[in-house]
Amino acid sequence: MIKKKEVKHIAKLARLGLTEKEIEKFRRELSKILDYIEKLKEVNISKVESTSHLIKLENVMRKDEQSSAPFKTLTDREKLLNLAPKTKNKYLRVKSIL
Amino acid sequence: MELTDLTITQAHQGLIKKEFSATELCQAYLDKIKEKNKEIFAFLTIAAKSALVQAKKVDSLISTGREISILAGLPCAIKDNILVENLKCTAGSKILENYIAPYDATVTKKLKEKGAVILGKTNMDEFAMGSSTENSAFGPTKNPYDLTRVPGGSSGGSAAAIAADMAIYSLGSDTGGSVRLPSCFCGVVGLKPTYGAVSRYGLIAFASSLDQIGPITKTIEDAKIVFEAISGKDEMDSTSVEKRFKIQDSRFKIQNIKIGVPSQYFVKGIDPEIEKLVRKAIKKYEDMGAKIEQVSLPHTEYALPAYYIINPSEASANLARYDGIKYGLSAKKEKDLLGVYLDSRQEGFGSEVKRRIMLGTYALSAGYYEAYYLKAQKVRKLVRADFTKVFKQVDIIMAPVSPFLPFKIGEKIKDPLSMYLVDIYTASVNLTGLPALSLPIGKVKDLPVGLQIIGKWFEEDKIFEIARLNENF
């Protein structure tokens, strides 16, 4: 069973605002899901190496040049900036950090 | 026959023989959507104007006597986590409610180059997290066979749209069964291609080592046509590959095929009526001359718990980008940066998305990484080894898609774990990267049942050939 304190800590790591009600809800639900996942303890993995990708891939490299597809033009940049909630002089604007 | 009953090949023939125009075809589908979308709610965005413009373009091509692609002028629907330039792309989430796609996904680009008519964007579980489409922030899609039941998920809108004749074909995405399950529940054909066969560029990332875009269609032939149109290596997705084992129709003989039936997929919990239909479908192949072999995938029961660590872990990392700064919903009242993060994500994400972010962050956090994430990755390797071994004995694996019939709206939504268990027969395929197809094989209590056909890596063609033989039940 995970504790309320842990739920709060995880939410903070995930930058996720939660109400008191949600904290309690997730404490119960996550405990139940983690109980189910405990099943993995039955598997002996001492001889297994870990894997993240299953199909052998090679890194794809490209030249470090200023323009690359598909955002070649200024209008493309403007298109992206238009999606931002707040901009100033073609920069994203954020609230103060301190 | 109505225009909205046609398959891809039939509609294409009709266009080139000038039995009807692309504009008429497009209008017929738009009328159908207008008539049915209110009750089924398959579409989130209907792009009538741009669809008609595109149809007209194809009509003028036809009138000049030029040859057109098989998909030219044919109306399709795209899941709302795949970008279509200048159309809204919400991923079923409030956080992207007003997000307009600034570019085309590679699959969209490929379809557009072939002259496809995009009717609109389809409903889905928020960020593709779910198995019923009830997790959409905009309301659930209904199953066209029974409006009180779910269409399956997460590509529920894309599957329901095909079942209700609201598009000729659609695209969905499959991370743990999200193309196959709704295709099964809605009685249509759905393919989850081999990981890497189709570019993921422009697909809103959920769990990047599992996600794959696939077609949903009325027939196997159609699925093959759409798969061929969207697959291939793409410089914008480094995990995409150009690799395919083509088989010549003349060389393919069902008598040479060995079908594996994994005992672990027919255990307690499966609806006996579904099991009966699935076994009957497999028997039909035996009658045609295929050899049937019982096979064992011993780590099957550990695949789903491993999946539910890997999936939320990747999701929690991918969804870190929704910060209220670059795009999407942004909390207004906050005074500092941290407050903007916390509040934008709190307001913008629904319950299931928050749950997965929490679960994934927990599994990846200091002190738990080895016990959860690393362990799950190792189990994933064992699951793959099971399949590799079985595929040395047999050519193809057949199993159910879902242990139960389409369930009632509201039946599982209150219990997240019960919803996770819906993916029991589908998640292994994503963990291993294998291709798999859901083929409609009949009905139980007037509700569709699907057969899952799992092939070797990059052997989609063999799946199509085998599925085709059993198509007309």
Phi–psi pair at B438, nearest 5 degrees: -105, 120
- Report the C-alpha gap between B175 and A4 in whole angstroms: 31
Chain A residues with CB under 8 Å of B308 CB are 33, 36-37
Q: Which residue has the tokens 């189910």?
A: A36
| Whether A95 and B336 lie within 8 Å, measured CB to CB | yes
Q: Is B450 left (phi over 0), alpha (psi -120 to 50) or beta?
A: beta
| Whether B342 and A17 lie within 8 Å, measured CB to CB | yes
| The pLDDT of residue B167 | 98
| Whether B337 and A96 lie within 8 Å, measured CB to CB | yes
- Residue in B170, B189, B212 with CA at minimum distance from that of residue B80: B170
Could you read off the pLDDT of B54-78 as tens digits, one per residue?
999 999 999 999 999 999 999 999 9
Chain A residues with CB under 8 Å of B433 CB are 54-55
Can you read off the two tokens belonging to residue B386? 């099971």
Distance from CA of B135 to the nearest CA of A (A): 16
- Residue in B249, B169, B219, B164 with CA at minimum distance from that of residue B472: B219
Which CATH number fits the domain A4-42, given the four candidates 2.40.50.140, 1.10.20.60, 1.10.1740.10, 1.10.357.10? Answer: 1.10.20.60
DSSP 8-state secondary structure symbol assigned to residue B112: H
The domains of chain A are located at 4-42
Which ranges in B365-454 belong to alpha helices (H)?
Answer: 375-393, 416-420, 427-432
Question: Residue B324 is nearest to which of A79, A80, A85, comparing CB atoms?
Answer: A85
- Residue in B129, B469, B442 with CA at minimum distance from that of residue B289: B469
Sequential pLDDT tens for chain B (473 residues)? 799 999 999 999 999 999 999 999 999 999 999 999 999 999 999 999 999 999 999 999 999 999 999 999 999 999 999 999 999 999 999 999 999 999 999 999 999 999 999 999 999 999 999 999 999 999 999 999 999 999 999 999 999 999 999 999 999 999 999 999 999 999 999 999 999 999 999 999 999 999 999 999 999 999 999 999 999 999 899 999 887 666 666 578 899 999 999 999 998 889 999 999 999 999 999 999 999 999 999 999 999 999 999 999 999 999 999 999 999 999 988 789 999 999 999 999 999 999 999 999 999 998 898 889 999 999 999 999 999 999 999 999 999 999 999 999 999 999 999 999 999 999 999 999 999 999 999 999 999 999 999 999 999 999 999 999 988 64
Angle at B46 between CA B75 and CA B206, to 5 degrees: 90
DSSP 8-state secondary structure symbol assigned to residue A85: S
| Whether A83 and B343 lie within 8 Å, measured CB to CB | no
Query: Are residues B46 and B30 in contact, defined by beta-carbon separation less than 8 angstroms?
Result: yes
Query: Are residues B193 and B214 in contact, defined by beta-carbon separation less than 8 angstroms?
Result: yes
Chain A residues with CB under 8 Å of B305 CB are 36-40
**What kind of architecture, by CATH, is found in domain B1-473?**
Alpha-Beta Complex (3.90)
Catalytic positions of B, written as ranges:
79, 154, 178
- Report the C-alpha gap between B210 and B201 in whole angstroms: 14
- Report the C-alpha gap between B126 and B461 in whole angstroms: 32
The domains of chain B are located at 1-473
Chain A residues with CB under 8 Å of B358 CB are 7, 10-11, 14, 16, 26, 30
Distance from CA of A82 to the nearest CA of B (A): 9
Mutate to test the interface with A, among B362, B370, B373, B422 (most CBs of A within 10 A): B362
- Report the C-alpha gap between B170 and B82 in whole angstroms: 11
